[in-house]
Structure 1
Amino acid sequence: MSNTAGDDPRDPSAETKFTFPETWQADASDGLSASVMFISGLIMVTRNRFLAWPSLVLSINSVINQHPLRTKEGGNSPFSTLLLAVCALIASYLPLVLVNPSRTQMPLPVQ
């Protein structure tokens, strides 16, 4: 069992400096995802149907552009943002389906 100079893993001449790949960046929170979650909550409270569609489009954008290596471990998942935007869209259109305008008006009393 003879070791040649090139086969020894402990050889100091074979050492290289450790460097991260150039594509890695520091952990950063996704500002777009956080703002879409805020807007989706606002839509559920105000029932504003006109803000629900851009919120859904921006949440789809955040799912498409996610970078798993750049997200923080406790950060918001883009899929939870998408789910919240879909729920906000449903909550804004639900009163149009469930509330019947003819039932909401009280009949006038007979005199």
Structure 2
Amino acid sequence: MSNDPRDPSLETKFVFPNTWYKDDADSLGTSGVFFSGLIMVTRNRYLAWPGVLFALNSYINQHSLRAKEGSSGALGNLMLSSMALLASYIPYITITARPSST
């Protein structure tokens, strides 16, 4: 056996790692989705910030090899939370026509 790293006898077949399943639910991701839905219904802009933080935490802590095949990713949760944050602040930046007094 040689010490040459290019020696063909040292080659091994490339194999993708096996996926493993994580049985416990992502509670912070679920809370982020719940907060996003609650924000859309109540328009409470103060709940939007924890929802975005939960979504960011879920996105940072995701493991692509541990995800089940049919599960939705954390990116969708992050987009939903950020759109709920945007929707809660839109009434403050839109220009509305004032009724004219005649």
Q: Does 1:64 align with 2:60?
A: yes
Unaligned runs of 5+ in 2: 1-17
Q: Which residue number corresponds to residue 71 of structure 2?
A: 75
Q: Which amino acid aligns with 2:61?
A: N
Counterpart residue type for residue 91 of structure 1? A
> Pairwise CA RMSD of aligned residues?
2.7
Number of aligned pairs?
A: 85
Runs of 4 or more, structure 1, over 3 Å off, are none
Give the deviation of 1:80 after TM superposition: 0.3
Say if 2:78 is the partner of 1:89: no
What amino acid maps onto 2:44 in structure 1?
A: N
Alignment of 1:5-84 (within 5 A): 26-28=21-23, 29-84=25-80
The 8 Å contact of residues 25 and 70 in structure 1, kept in 2 or not, is answered as yes
Counterpart of 2:14 in structure 1 is: none
- Judge conservation of contact 1:30–1:71 (CA < 8 Å) in 2: no
Give the fraction of aligned pairs with identical amino acids, expressed as a percent.
Answer: 45
- Structure-2-length-normalised TM-score: 0.69
Distance in structure 2 (CA, Å) of the matches to 1:32 and 1:69? 19
Structure of greater Rg: 1
Q: Which amino acid aligns with 1:103?
A: R
Cα displacement string for residues 57-111 of structure 1 (whole angstroms, at most 9, x for unaligned residues): 11111111111122221112100000001100000000111154x826x74xx7x
* Structure 1 residue 31: Cα displacement: 2.4
CA drift of 1:25 comes to: 5.4
